[in-house]
Chains A and B, each alone.
Chain A
Amino acid sequence: MHRSKNLKNALMAWTSLSPALIFIGLIILFPIGYTFYISLTNMNIFNWFDFRVVGLGNYRRALFVFDSGFLRALWITVIWTILNMVLQLVIAFVMASLLNVQKLKYARVYKTILMFPWAMPGYVSILLWRHGIFNAQFGLLNQWLYQLGMEPRRWLADDLTAFVVCMIVNLWLALPFMMMIMDGALKSLDKSYYESALIDGAGWFTRSVRLTIPAIRPIIAPAVIITLFTTFKQFDVIYLMTQQVGAQTGANIHTVLTYAYESAFVTRNYGYSSAVSIIIFAMLIAFSLLVTVLRKRGQSA
């Protein structure tokens, strides 16, 4: 009787969940599965209808793309991810802390202003930076240089400057999200700990390192992981700032995705492009597992 009731409950639960599971399967699992299938075929514009399975040939060829250009792109992607994450966390923490200063006037106004970049479409924001600030002919920076009697420069022409500029733009776009999460985490903390710390004479830095950061770490961890992946697979900022067709700036700062796009997707060889996509997907999965393992180790320590 008891077993039959359990079975009934389980059936009911699965039945209730099934629309959502089917929906998730259709929009997430099916595209991945289909991309994997296409990656095993010779599908391109010359075999649009009559493509056939060719085994792992596309993966073999895709690995040839992983030449020195790919390794450079991978290296740039790793540096890009680390620097962006470190800067985002530090700046967002400082900003959120400032917003949580007791008796701060107009805190809501500041918060609204700081959220503004998040409210704007990313595409528009990036192009505003590209053409409004860093345009070598009309951009604000060069106008200032011109007024100061200095020679204008191409801000996005050399790799290092372009990388820094792209990072600034990415930070501008990404900081509001991290700041909002940090702000929420800070607000949830029990103030009595701070009262004790203040009595013990702990300054802001000590309180932050010993109390605040350990306390908010579990709260912000999911946001950090999400941002980590978003930053790793960043495409828009790098592409729109430096690589748009007809508006390339001369900087060669490909990330893994922009490199794959230029090396694989322009060929319209869908079997091959799918293989590249699956390889990048596998890299992200591996990266995700690594983060999970490190997180678990951190928690158990």
Chain B
Amino acid sequence: MKLLFVCLFAALMLTVLASCGGQADEDGVITLVIWHDKEAEVAAALQTKLDELAPDIIVVLERKSGLTETLKLVGNSPGAAPDMFFFAHDKVGVYSEMRIIVPISDFVDAALLDLFLPKTIEAATYNGRVYQLPLYFETLLFMYNRAIMPDDDVPTNTLDLFRFMQRHTGGGHFGFVEQFNNAYFVGGWMHGFGAEMISADGVPMLDTPEMIAALHYYGRLMRLMPNEAEFATINTLFREGRAAATIGGPWLIPSIREAGIDLGIAPMPIVSETGLPLAPFMGVQGLHVLRVAAENPVRNEAIRTVLNHLISTDIGVALAQASGSAPALAASFDLPVIYNDPMVMMMLETAQTATPMPNIPEMDIMWTVAAGMLVDINFRGHEVEVAAANAQRRAEDLIALMR
């Protein structure tokens, strides 16, 4: 009985694994699988567009939690890996080094890639090759509550912002809040001082004079922020009308509007000391192709068809609207539905100075180390110079270990 159970189980597993491949069936229909981690609306918009390729090519979107880690485990397994995945650009370095993805330029003509906003292609480029077909992008935005911060009072530079915070902070209310221990958010301030967390060739840059200046300056603002720095607290304060302004992602906007906040979106303030605007990180979402799929001639051709089919303004717009982000195709911004949307246009403006999240593998370490540095300064009261020097040493050690 037990033996029978084992045999049946093994047969079932083999059937499941074999069915994951997505080969062409007898009628020449090819089924491709795309893994993603997106909201239902975004997936539905993409699925609608991909369904236009049926019946020759059937594309199945599968939502995967823990997508990045799962890909590391099965990304090179023909039976278990998907054909493509839909994710942010910042992992292309890791997957490229692991050799589980192939450049998108193998499928799309270079001339077509010129149709995208240059920053989105820059984000998807690793070691000189483009690994992602960009679909939409997001940047952080300066958001304010018009009931507390009238349009005329919106700070255009960081000194004005600081003064506004001094006037409006107290009694459980705040002039400005953001996740001040999260390197993704504080990155905008670092860039505004000309600092960067890591160089393009993977050298940590946490103790440079520019970084020290940024951290000192930010420390003054931090003292006027709440006792907690994490996502839920910061967003709740803004949604409840207890914070006049915040820097947050477009994904917050639906819940902010639902809370009845009269939301305004403004350009990032200019850093008074440097004359540079706050330059937040930018994330580009798009499709990546798995090597195991690309090496199969039948599926290779189907993937080429899918990718080229997605180079159109309609899907960029549909995805941008579903996700509250901005389309990656430059021509999309000529469409009324886009240029009449102030939030999307503000994202485009911010993107001019935004910094794409570094996509080199070493960046995975920098997020952790930089967050530790911010906590040391903001919560543990360490001297900026000491915390930065410690963080630099730690980052160098961990990167050495990584290699």
Residues of chain A at the chain B interface (Cβ within 8 Å):
16, 19-20, 22, 44-46, 48-49, 61, 131, 135-138, 142, 146, 152-154, 157, 244-250, 252, 262-264, 266-269, 272
Contacts and interface: CB of A to CB of B under 8 A. Distances in A.
Interface in B342-364: 361, 364
Nearest to B76: A49
B114 interface: no
Contact of A154 (B367, B371, B379): B379
A137 B227 contact: yes
Interface of B: 2-3, 5-6, 76, 94, 97-100, 172, 179, 181-182, 184, 226-233, 236-237, 361, 364-365, 367-368, 371-372, 375-376, 378-380, 398-399, 401-403
20 contacts: A19-B3, A46-B97, A46-B361, A46-B403, A131-B233, A136-B227, A137-B228, A137-B237, A138-B228, A138-B236, A142-B227, A154-B379, A246-B179, A246-B231, A247-B181, A264-B401, A266-B364, A266-B365, A267-B399, A269-B402
A262 B402 contact: no
Contacts of A45: 94, 97-98, 361, 402
A19 B399 CA distance: 44
Majority-rule SS of A interface residues:
loop
Nearest to A154: B227
B401 A267 contact: yes
Contacts of A49: 76, 98-99
A137 B379 contact: no
Contact of A248 (B2, B172, B181, B402): B181
Contacts of A16: 2
Nearest to B237: A137
A46 B400 CA distance: 12
Contacts of A22: 6
Contacts of A248: 181, 371-372, 375, 379
B35 to A, nearest CB: 19
Nearest to B184: A246
B361 A262 contact: no
A16 B2 CA distance: 8
Nearest to B375: A248
Question: Max chain B CB contacts within 10 Å: which of A45, A48, A138?
Answer: A45
B178 to A, nearest CB: 11
B45 to A, nearest CB: 28
A152 B171 CA distance: 11
Contact of B371 (A46, A245, A268, A272): A245
Nearest to A157: B379
B229 A247 contact: yes
A267 B365 contact: yes
Which 10 A-B pairs give the minimum distances between C-beta atoms? Answer: A250-B379, A136-B227, A247-B230, A48-B98, A246-B182, A267-B402, A248-B375, A19-B2, A267-B401, A137-B228
B197 to A, nearest CB: 14
Nearest to A263: B398
Nearest to A48: B98
A262 to B, nearest CB: 7
A29 B182 CA distance: 40
Contact of B230 (A61, A157, A246, A266): A246
Given A46-B97, A246-B182, 4 more contacts: A48-B99, A244-B230, A267-B402, A272-B401
Contacts of B399: 267
Question: Max chain A CB contacts within 10 Å: which of B98, B228, B378?
Answer: B228
B371 A246 contact: yes
A244 to B, nearest CB: 8
A251 B227 CA distance: 14
A51 to B, nearest CB: 11
Question: Max chain A CB contacts within 10 Å: which of B184, B229, B364?
Answer: B229
A49 B76 CA distance: 9
Contact of B181 (A20, A46, A246): A246
Given A266-B398, A272-B401, A245 B368 contact: yes
B292 to A, nearest CB: 12
B227 A250 contact: no
Given A154-B227, A246-B182, A250-B375, A44 B402 contact: yes
Contacts of B179: 246
A237 B46 CA distance: 39
Nearest to B368: A266
A44 B400 CA distance: 12
Nearest to A44: B402
Question: Max chain A CB contacts within 10 Å: which of B97, B99, B236, B379?
Answer: B379
Contacts of A146: 172
Contacts of A252: 380
Given A44-B403, A157-B379, A131 B232 contact: yes
Nearest to B93: A45
A146 B227 CA distance: 13
A245 B94 CA distance: 20
